[in-house]
């Protein structure tokens, strides 16, 4: 599938992006199953691999629906779901609800609980409330929990890598700490990598696809803008999908 070559170098001394085969990268979904479904259907119709940068849950109205949708498509297309910081928070909440619960709720966790029918949390939540919510969520999610635990932090094809938030540009991707991948690194997007690897990421909201210094930013804030960024990346070019 030919792709237009319209990537400016921006000082990044590397070859154009050249994955082993063209693939679709999808930005942060955050509970917008309505926006994700047509993108996955288009990818299936074109038999294209799909890589999602993480943050499937929280903020938006249908986190449970997003996770079900991804499960449904896993058998239909070549699908890679990376772990974002919101998946990280949910899994921490399930392990230690009393310690992590209030933090997760501040990051939008109430909407995820509500999407699973857990809507009885008071505004002034107690530790006992958090424990009850944890057990209810764990029961409602079932096998989805083990699937989320198995999500990788990054994926690479050719000279293109996909991750959620960032990476230390001075270190090989294989040596990165999970915290940098899921939560970001202060030098990411500031200091260009020197290994020629393009990094596609989400986490930080941008108005539209942004490409600079070997970094492609694809989180367009779908949960509040109604715009889910999806791009087709192939040898020599990138275009909206």
CA 62, 127, 122: angle at the middle one, nearest 5? 50
Q: Supply the mean pLDDT for the chain.
A: 92
Lowest mean pLDDT among 8-12, 18-22, 71-75, 146-150: 8-12
Q: Is the pTM for the entire model greater than 0.75?
A: yes
Cβ(79)–Cβ(39) under 8 Å? no
Is residue 13 predicted with pLDDT exceeding 80?
no
Residue 5 has a pLDDT of 42
Average pLDDT for residues 42-49, to the nearest whole number?
94
Residue 2 has a pLDDT of 39
Please write down the long-range contacts of 42-46, taking CB distance under 8 Å and 24 or more positions apart: 42/241, 43/77, 43/241, 44/73, 44/76, 44/77, 46/1
Residue 188 has a pLDDT of 95
Average pLDDT for residues 156-162, to the nearest whole number?
96
Please write down the long-range contacts of 91-95, taking CB distance under 8 Å and 24 or more positions apart: 91/145, 91/148, 91/149, 93/134, 93/137, 94/134, 94/137, 94/138, 94/145
Quick one: what percent of the chain has pLDDT higher than 70? 94
Across the strands, what pairs with 231?
Answer: 25, 240
Residue 159 has a pLDDT of 93
Is residue 176 predicted with pLDDT exceeding 70?
yes
CA distance 138 to 210: 37
Residue 1 has a pLDDT of 38
Residue 39 has a pLDDT of 97
- Binned at pLDDT 50, 70 and 90, residue 7 comes out as very low
Please write the tens of the pLDDT for every residue from 86-143: 999 999 999 999 999 999 999 999 999 999 999 988 888 999 999 999 999 999 999 9
Cβ(62)–Cβ(115) under 8 Å? yes
Burial of 116 by CB count in 10 Å (0-12 exposed, 13-18 middle, 19+ buried)?
Answer: middle
């Amino acid at each position: 599938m030919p792709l237009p070559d319209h990537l400016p170098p921006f000082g990044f001394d590397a070859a154009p992006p050249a994955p082993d085969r063209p693939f679709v990268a999808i930005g942060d979904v955050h509970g917008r199953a309505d926006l994700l479904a047509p993108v996955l259907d288009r990818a299936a119709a074109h038999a294209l691999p799909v890589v999602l940068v993480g943050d499937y849950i929280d903020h938006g109205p249908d986190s449970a629906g997003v996770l079900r949708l991804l499960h449904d498509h896993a058998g239909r297309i070549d699908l890679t779901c990376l772990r974002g910081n919101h998946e990280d928070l949910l899994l921490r909440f399930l392990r230690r609800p009393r310690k992590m619960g209030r933090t997760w709720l501040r990051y939008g966790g109430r909407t995820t609980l509500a999407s699973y029918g857990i809507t009885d949390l008071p505004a002034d939540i107690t530790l006992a409330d958090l424990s009850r919510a944890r057990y209810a969520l764990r029961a409602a999610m079932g096998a989805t929990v083990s699937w989320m635990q198995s999500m990788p932090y990054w994926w690479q094809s050719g000279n293109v890598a996909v991750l959620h938030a960032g990476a230390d540009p001075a270190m090989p991707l294989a040596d990165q700490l999970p915290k940098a991948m899921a939560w970001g690194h202060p030098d990411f997007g500031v200091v260009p990598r020197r290994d020629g690897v393009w990094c596609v990421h989400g986490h930080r909201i941008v108005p539209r696809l942004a490409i600079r210094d070997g970094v492609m930013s694809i989180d367009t804030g779908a949960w509040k803008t109604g715009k889910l960024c999806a791009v087709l990346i192939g040898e020599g070019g990138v275009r909206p999908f």
